[in-house]
Amino acid sequence: MTDEQLDVGVGPWPGEPPTDPRYDPELLANGDRRNVVDRYRYWRREAVVADLDHRRHGFHVAIENWQHDFNIGTVVRNANAFLAAEVHIVGRRRWNRRGAMVTDRYQHVRHHETIADFVSWAQREELPIVGIDNLPGSRPMETTVLPRRCVLLFGQEGPGLSDAARAACDQLFSIAQYGSTRSINAGVASGIAMHAWIREHAGPPPAQ
């Protein structure tokens, strides 16, 4: 283990270890160097997920994955930070997990082979699909309130939402941009959209 890794987290539990079943004996004995908030130090992964499940928000996040988009890891990491109910990968099942920084261990991720499969799921759950893309006809996200229960859908880096995805959207919003670039990547866009939802519908986070 490097000096940098030793600087992250906490060392072995000092004194008599707790008997609470949420705690992981190996982490108590060896230290917890994971990228988790302090309230989850030494907890088993399953215990962390169970606690998060009690507090998850009413929005889901979906992203198309036809070309192994490198942004998906960042989308998953953002979804964990803002406590999305689930992340939905539409298209290829495999995705680059590096950008997720192991947050996918604590975030529910569901796969749909096609847009049609994804739409069928959303309809069964009675969740409106909200597309985020700078397309003709998109309404400025800054001028609206996102639904409390919804799926935020993002497209591939470059082409954006596919034609099938656009047709499936119940609402379509754009994110205001002021510079010379045509678009921002899905990782950045997802963070902005999720935070817009948080500002409208979520209270302050629990103590860390």
pLDDT digits (tens, 9 = 90+) for 133-159: 998 889 999 999 999 999 999 998 778
3-state secondary structure of 172: strand
Q: Average pLDDT in the 79-89 region?
A: 98
What structural domains and CATH numbers belong to the chain? 3-53 (no CATH), 59-201 (3.40.1280.10)
Report how far residue 136's alpha carbon sits from residue 107's, in angstroms, rounded to the nearest whole number. Answer: 33
Angle at which helices 186-201 and 72-81 cross, to 10°: 20
How far apart CA 155 and CA 122 sit, in angstroms, is 17
pLDDT at res. 208? 76
pTM for the model: 0.92
